[in-house]
Structure 1
Amino acid sequence: MNHVLNSEKDKMKSGQLYNAFDADLVKDRVRASKLCTQLNELGKATQESREKILKKLFKTCGMNVWVESPFICDYGYQISVGSNVFINFNCTILDGEDVTIGNDVLIGPNVQIYSATHPVDWKVRKSGLENTLPVTIGDNVWVGGGVVICPGVTIGNKSTIGAGSVVTKDIPSNVVAAGNPARVIRVL
């Protein structure tokens, strides 16, 4: 028997068109905003204090995760972070769908990771509906400063994304990719 997706949250998590202004989703974003505010107000507090908030905010959070402030996300509960991860200042993650960050990942300042997207058909977009696609960042990845990672993208293990790049398509493992749109410029 097929499960019927009734709630806007179910639709969001499955990549279907959904109404982001649904009361439950607004409540979830308020929760995430409060936790992000707590995190951002800690300053250079202890690792333990920061990880305590991250474990409440994220779906999963490995060991030795440091997120510099300010940090902003939509929901938090769609973000999975491995161990030994450093996320630098001013990272924004729109996590209407799963955003998975592997182990031993470095994310530079001003990085934006988007799972949320809008229909290209203006009539559908005008209705206020949006949808999501998952984003995956593999293990041992370095994402340079100012990178934008678009919905539906997977970045393979051990790859480097050059500063200022816009990642619109999957990037294989063991490469350096850069540019707008990002493209492989060297195999490692």
Structure 2
Amino acid sequence: MDKIRLGQFFLILCCMMYLIWWLKSYHPTKGDDHYTGVSGIMLIITSILGLIGMLFNMSGILDLSPVNGFINGNVIIISGLIAYPVLFVITQFILHRVVTTELFLIVGWVMLETASINIAYALEHVSAFMVIMFLFLVFAAAIISLYFYLMYFKVTPVKGYIYGAIPLITEAICMGIYILISR
């Protein structure tokens, strides 16, 4: 469990750095220079923190693969593998929104959080009630994220700037809650 919690901690740091990068680099008065100079360095740090978080989190999940979790790990993987292409098609062809990396990150994050709480439940670190409450928060955060993701190009630059920041906050809060409840 320590690896999973450490992974969650690094992913929170990733969200915080991503948020700082976003606020600095995507302000409507900034222009299109999002990836060079200090902004580029910040994005590299964000990516490194995210990769470290994923490695610790996934390593912890794989080390502890439960047989008695609330859901089989294959179901989580298959659900994500179905959800992403469905959301991709809906986003690209029905809603006519350019698909960006954030859609993949949202789906992957939901899968990771579901697998993480599954492990915590299997090891009796959390109750069934806590699983339900946590998954409610995760899915609420994912729906909020998808809403702001879909609306980003349909609103003014200032609103888009705010809309882009909100998912980073909601996901970080969920991971912080995971750390607190999985002890």
* Range of TM-score over shorter length: under 0.3
Please report the TM-score for the alignment, with normalisation by the length of structure 2. Answer: 0.28
Higher strand share: 1
Please report the TM-score for the alignment, with normalisation by the length of structure 1. Answer: 0.27
Higher helix share: 2
